[in-house]
A and B are shown apart, each in its own frame.
Chain A
Amino acid sequence: MILAQFFLAYALAVLVIKTTFAGIDIRLEQVARFLGCTPWKVFWHVSLPLARNGIIAAFILAWARAVGDFGSTSTIAGAVRGKTETMPISIYLNLATVSLDRAVVLSVILTLMTIAALVTICLLLEKRS
């Protein structure tokens, strides 16, 4: 289950992180070289701090994608109560057993988590730019 979610989410994280690093002004890295930085120090003192918010945003995005996943988890690990019971699977199982109250509560929690993740990502990326 963890493997399924990892493969689903890591590509998204890598894409965001790659875009973040590509967006860093190369002049900043060049100037740092003339201030005495080796390529590794440029990465540590310039590139990484500048990419920090993008990296955090990428991990939040990947986490949100993994938490909300239903298809790949249920296909690979199945939908077993107490064993492979992620939130979407739990909603599905509660709907299947007509436990509507629990399903609705879980749906609301999942929606709020998604909104919180999106707001955090927006704030992080806005701060970066």
Chain B
Amino acid sequence: MIEVYNLVAKYGNFTLKEINLSIGNSECFVLIGPTGAGKTLFLETLLGIKPLFKGRIFSNGKDITKIPPEERSFSYLPQDLALFPHLDVKDNIGFGLKIKGLPPREISDKISSIAKMLKIGYLLDRKNVRSLSGGEKQRVALARAIVIDSKTLFLDEPFGALDTAARYELLTEFKALQERLGITVILVTHDLNEATFLADKMAVIMNGEIKQYGIPEEVYAQPESDEVAKFLMVGKLFPNKTDLNPLLWKKPRKIKMD
């Protein structure tokens, strides 16, 4: 469980204002907000990449506010995936295992197992990670993050660069994998489809402030302010709010031409 108390972080003139959150084990928490809302700053502060100005962060009851990133037992998948260009696919996936000092045979077994799970077995002999397609890079980066058996995975808009079909496929597989492995996921995105599809709980962030927090159905059905409603494309001011949210449309509307 990740608990955040009164977290304040500053980056230049931008400030994250007093964030309080609790993310349960095996939960998929999605932080959604427009560009420049402070999503990445929040994520990087939780990860320990950026220093916090005030507040406390706990992971499974342990205060991790001041401990270095490598001791937090988190996995991180950044937006640009950050695959190591000097390593081949196999070494990229096994990087964390090698650092942990696992024997080569165990590393090899774990790589094969995760590759099979993510359907990238055919990529293990590829030497140059730059030659992979967007979806393949995504899977390799995901394999590298998951294989180290971390129980909490942080993702920063990881599916943004994919085309719709590849994104849908990967999102479906990712959700199944998360439930199967029981890992806690903290994901930031500006994509409503992605958030709705993945989130067990979601929070809407705007101008460095959490505007609303809850399960997706609640947030969509009862946006707490006009700005949240506008961002979610839900008409708060209208009686039947969900009518204006294209994500909740069951069927495409037909337009009659006279």
B72 CB contacts on chain A under 8 angstroms = 34
Q: Digit string of B117-157 for contact with A (CB within 8 Å is 1, else 0)? A: 00000000000000000000000000011001010000000
Q: Is the CB of B78 within 8 A of A35?
A: no
Residue of A whose beta carbon sits closest to that of B100: A36
A31 contacts B70, C-beta separation under 8 Å: no
Do B99 and A33 touch (CB < 8 A)?
A: no
Q: Given A33-B70, A34-B69, A34-B75, do A28 and B99 touch, yes or no (CB 8 Å)?
A: no
Residues on B with beta carbons closer than 8 Å to the beta carbon of A33: 68-70
| CB-based contact B99/A36 at 8 Å | yes
Indicate whether A49 reaches chain B with its CB closer than 8 angstroms.
Answer: yes
- Inside 8 A of A25's CB, which chain B residues have their CB? 80, 82
Judged by a CB distance under 8 angstroms, whether B220 is at the interface is no
Interface of A is mostly: helix
CB–CB B148/A36 < 8 A:
yes
Q: Report yes or no: B70 in contact with A28, Cβ–Cβ below 8 A.
A: no
Chain B residues within 8 Å of A27, by CB: 78, 80, 82
Interface membership of A12, Cβ < 8 A: no
Name the residue among B47, B68, B69 with the largest chain A CB count within 10 angstroms.
B69
**Interface residue? B62 (CB, 8 A):** no
B141 CB to closest chain A CB (Å) equals 9
Q: How far is it, in angstroms, between the C-alpha of A34 and the C-alpha of B149 when the chains are bound? A: 12
Asked if B29 is an interface residue, CB under 8 A from chain A, the answer is: no
Given known pairs A27-B80, A28-B82, A31-B78, the reply for A45 and B99 (CB within 8 Å) is yes
Residues of A within 8 A of B100 (CB): 36
Interface contact B99-A30, CB-CB below 8 Å: no
Any B CB within 8 A of the CB of A37: yes
What residues on A are CB-neighbors of B58 within 8 Å? Answer: none
The bracket for how many chain A residues form the interface is 10 to 19
Interface residues on B, range: 20 to 34
How many whole Å from B62's CB to the nearest CB in chain A? 17
Central interface residue in A25, A27, A34, A45, by most chain B CB within 10 Å:
A34
B82 touches A34 (CB 8 A): no
Q: Does A4 contact B (CB under 8 A)?
A: no
**Docked CA distance A37–B145 (Å):** 14
- Is A41 interfacial (CB-CB < 8 Å)? yes
Picked from B49, B80, B86, B148, the residue with its CB within 8 Å of the CB of A35 is B148
* Candidates A30, A38, A46, A50; contact of B76 at CB < 8 Å: A30
Residues of A within 8 A of B86 (CB): 49-50
With both beta carbons as reference points, the residue of chain B lying nearest to A52 in the complex is identified as: B86
The 4 closest A-B pairs by CB, nearest first: A35-B96, A27-B82, A33-B69, A34-B76
Q: Which residues of B contact A (CB under 8 A)?
A: 47, 49, 68-70, 72, 74-76, 78, 80, 82, 84-86, 95-96, 99-100, 144-145, 148, 150
Q: List 13 A-B contacts (CB under 8 A).
A: A30-B49, A30-B69, A30-B78, A31-B78, A32-B95, A33-B70, A34-B72, A34-B145, A35-B75, A37-B70, A45-B95, A45-B99, A49-B86
Query: Interface residues, chain A, CB within 8 Å of chain B?
Result: 25, 27-28, 30-38, 41, 45-46, 49-50
- List 10 other contacts, CB 8 Å, given A25-B82, A36-B70: A25-B80, A30-B69, A32-B84, A32-B95, A34-B70, A34-B74, A36-B148, A37-B99, A45-B99, A49-B86
